[in-house]
């Protein structure tokens, strides 16, 4: 078997690191390219990579953005990390990258998060499956409950259910480079 044939079936190996301000534009472009995710302003992504870099992770393959997770620590629940958005490049789908991004996010938390929270619309089965799988892999609970009703939004928007995963303990996962 030729070397190229052997490499044709291997998946790219992403490197995980804390987000930096210069990642914001690439995140925005990825969400725009992907479709399906709510596109926030470019300013939002740059700001989160600046002010909340300790709760944002990017995955790169050969210097190219393969995926990201954007989150923050809610001021009223400092023992939780709230996941705002997870994005995976189309060329990296079906490789478990979203789950590895969440694990990398949890691993970079200092102090460690006791809970991971996210909101998901009722029809978003891939995200629901992602968060349930994280709870299973971490061998912990996954509470799902109504959270934000559609009537709270000024424009047509589905309700958002809260997923609360935990209590969390440390778990080994991909190395996250804090630089």
Mean pLDDT, range 137-152, rounded to an integer: 93
Mean pLDDT, range 4-21, rounded to an integer: 76
The predicted pLDDT at position 7 comes to: 46
Picking from 101, 36, 39, 32, the residue whose alpha carbon sits closest to that of residue 66 is 101
C-alpha Rg value of the chain to the nearest Å: 16
Handedness of CA 46, 28, 111, 143 (dihedral sign): positive
Angle, helices 97-107 vs 125-138, to 10°: value is 50
Q: Is residue 59's pLDDT more than 90? A: yes
Mean pLDDT, range 66-76, rounded to an integer: 96
Q: Is residue 8's pLDDT more than 70? A: no
Confidence of residue 158 (pLDDT cuts 50, 70, 90): confident
pLDDT tens-digit readout, 117-128: 999 999 999 999
* Rounded Cα–Cα distance for residues 26 and 12 (Å): 19
The domains found in the chain, sorted by start residue, are 13-177 (3.40.630.30)
Picking from 56, 149, 69, 37, the residue whose alpha carbon sits closest to that of residue 108 is 56
The predicted pLDDT at position 67 comes to: 97
Mean pLDDT, range 104-115, rounded to an integer: 94
Q: What is this structure's pTM?
A: 0.86
Strand order in the sheet with 141-148: 141-148, 160-166, 115-120, 80-88, 64-72, 56-61, 15-18, 176-177
The predicted pLDDT at position 162 comes to: 96
Q: Is residue 69's pLDDT more than 90? A: yes
């Amino acid at each position: 078997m030729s070397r190229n044939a052997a490499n044709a079936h291997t998946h790219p190996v992403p490197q995980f690191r804390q987000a930096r301000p210069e990642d914001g534009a690439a995140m925005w472009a990825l969400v725009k390219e992907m479709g399906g995710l709510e596109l926030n302003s470019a300013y939002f992504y740059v700001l989160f990579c600046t002010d909340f870099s300790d709760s944002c992770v990017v995955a790169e393959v050969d210097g190219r953005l393969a995926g990201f997770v954007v989150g923050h620590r809610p001021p009223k629940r400092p023992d939780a990390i709230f996941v705002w958005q997870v994005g995976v490049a189309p060329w990296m789908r079906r490789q478990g990258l979203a789950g590895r991004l969440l694990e990398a996010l949890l691993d970079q938390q200092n102090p460690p998060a006791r809970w991971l929270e996210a909101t998901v619309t009722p029809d978003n089965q891939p995200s629901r499956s992602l968060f349930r799988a994280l709870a299973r892999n971490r061998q912990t609970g996954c509470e799902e409950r109504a959270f934000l009703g559609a009537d709270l939004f000024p424009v047509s928007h589905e309700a958002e259910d809260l997923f609360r995963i935990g209590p969390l303990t440390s778990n080994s996962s991909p190395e996250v480079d804090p630089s």
